[in-house]
Amino acid sequence: MARDEELKKRWEEVVQKLSSKFADGETLDLDGIIYLIGVQELGQLHRRFKKDEKLNLMHIAICRLLEPYGYYVFDYFDEQGWPHYNVKEALPNLKAGEQSVLMKDAIVNYFLEAEFIS
């Protein structure tokens, strides 16, 4: 199977599984899945987040997702348990579609590593 087809199949599996578990019948979009990964990485699953915290959760997720690609490196957890990352290599200038493919690939790899999908 071609790499693009495999990514598409696995991405659809991630969306379907997460949507059925967290979205009450709705289909989660890329941002929603990034948010869920941020919550997972923070580990504070049963609390409500303020608007600025939600943006920080998405930042955490993006850093964690792109860490294996060499763009970020984990630094430390602060006193509230929030992870902090440092930029290791600047992200290349990507078009919107290329950014989306990179993030979907990173998300699929994240859930493969976690054995959420196969």
Q: Is 95 exposed, middle or buried (0-12, 13-18, 19+ CB in 10 A)?
A: exposed
Q: What residue spans of 43-95 are helical by DSSP H? A: 51-66
Model pTM score: 0.93
* Non-local CB neighbours of 12 within 8 Å, separated by 6+ positions: none
Mean pLDDT computed over 2-21: 94
Please tell me the predicted confidence (pLDDT) of residue 15.
97
Percent of the chain exceeding pLDDT 90 equals 87
Each domain of the chain, given as residue ranges in start order, spans 3-113
